[in-house]
């Protein structure tokens, strides 16, 4: 029997970020906050936030960035994320929030495993990849805090572990953006400037699962509507190399008019981190993911229309 609550009494943190911006279409009556409204690293702000008796919290807020940002600012990443996650969960529990769903990342998984795709049981079976170690530790800590609360206080909180995300509402920043967002921005810039190629970091060999933000939002909506309290991965079956993904993007966006170059002196990051979606499908039923070509075409068209470069 589902837990009954008002769809309007839902708090979403990180409301101006990629997932939060997409989620507004799927949960239009929720209350969305950003860092402009509350500083979740400050206890007084978090305490004030929970003066409202929320029936569900969807925690999306976090300090995020691409591989270079993670390498350059590990202290900021771990400090800010540990503070906001710990305080948010603490005051959600103290104020009696019945349901909470937090969004993590597949970067919490071990850098190397003997078998792939990895399952939820593989978390904590080895250290995360070095280039985003600090960020990953903060997300692992949040998962541990949720599990500990459920065990000690009988809360019904859960977390989702999505693969690499992209979407129309991501911010294009060549220093801070994730791979696919930065790639589409570089393609758009090259077209505007009449360039013949785009240059990408690393060798192009690492493998990645890319998930359109709308797909994660549909999963979040289903967790709300079906009162799901299990934790699981959210990722498509497709697992492609960076070179293959770049090739698809160039073909979709330009008709193969641009060459792809790789800066092999730059770091690759984790070689592979593909995860299984078997538990997700058992929990929610069959789920149709947005095909990568379709998603890339949609995002690129949006970037061109909104003149992000």
73 alpha carbon, distance to own chain's centre: 19
Catalytic residue, chosen from 32, 91, 135, 303, is 135
Which residue from 303, 39, 29 is spatially nearest to 189, judged by alpha carbons?
303
Task: Supply the DSSP string of 56-74, one letter for each residue.
Answer: EEEE-------HHHHHH-H
Residues forming a β-bridge with 15: none
Contacts 24+ apart (CB under 8 A), 2-8: 2/226, 2/227, 3/98, 3/99, 3/156, 3/227, 5/55, 5/56, 5/98, 5/99, 6/55, 7/224
Give buried/exposed letters for 74-106 (b at 16+ CB in 10 A, else e). beebbebbbbbbbbbbbbbbeeebbbbbbbbbb
Q: Report residue 241 as tokens.
A: 């190399």
| Annotation says 2 is catalytic | no
User: Which parts of 197-241 fold into alpha helices (H)?
Assistant: 213-225
Catalytic (active-site) positions: 135
């Amino acid at each position: 029997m589902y837990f009954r609550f008002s769809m309007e009494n839902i708090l979403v943190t990180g409301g101006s970020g990629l997932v939060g911006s997409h989620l507004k279409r799927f949960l239009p009556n929720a209350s969305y906050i950003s860092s402009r409204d509350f500083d979740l690293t400050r206890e007084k702000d978090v305490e004030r936030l929970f003066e409202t008796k929320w029936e569900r919290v969807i925690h999306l807020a976090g300090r995020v960035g691409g591989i270079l940002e993670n390498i350059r600012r590990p202290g900021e990443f771990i400090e800010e994320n540990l503070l906001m996650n710990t305080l948010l969960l603490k005051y959600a529990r103290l104020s009696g929030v019945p349901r909470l769903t937090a969004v993590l990342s597949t970067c919490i998984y071990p850098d190397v495993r003997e078998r792939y795709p990895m399952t939820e049981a593989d978390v904590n079976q080895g250290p995360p990849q070095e280039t985003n170690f600090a960020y990953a530790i903060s997300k692992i800590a949040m998962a541990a805090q949720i599990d500990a609360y459920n065990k000690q206080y009988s809360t019904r909180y859960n977390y989702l572990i999505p693969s690499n995300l992209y979407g129309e509402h991501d911010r294009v920043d060549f220093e801070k953006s994730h791979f696919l967002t930065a790639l589409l921005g570089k393609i758009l810039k090259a077209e505007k400037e009449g360039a013949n190629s785009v240059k990408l970091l690393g060798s192009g060999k690492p493998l990645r699962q890319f998930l359109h933000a709308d797909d994660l939002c549909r999963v979040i909506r289903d967790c709300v509507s079906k009162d799901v309290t299990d934790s699981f991965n959210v990722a498509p079956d497709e697992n492609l190399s960076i070179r293959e993904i770049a090739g698809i993007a160039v073909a979709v966006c330009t008709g193969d008019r641009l060459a792809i170059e790789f800066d092999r002196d730059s770091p690759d990051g984790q070689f592979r981190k593909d995860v299984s979606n078997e538990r997700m499908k058992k929990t929610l039923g069959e789920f149709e993911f947005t095909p990568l070509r379709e998603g890339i075409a949609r995002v690129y068209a949006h970037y061109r229309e909104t003149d992000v470069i």
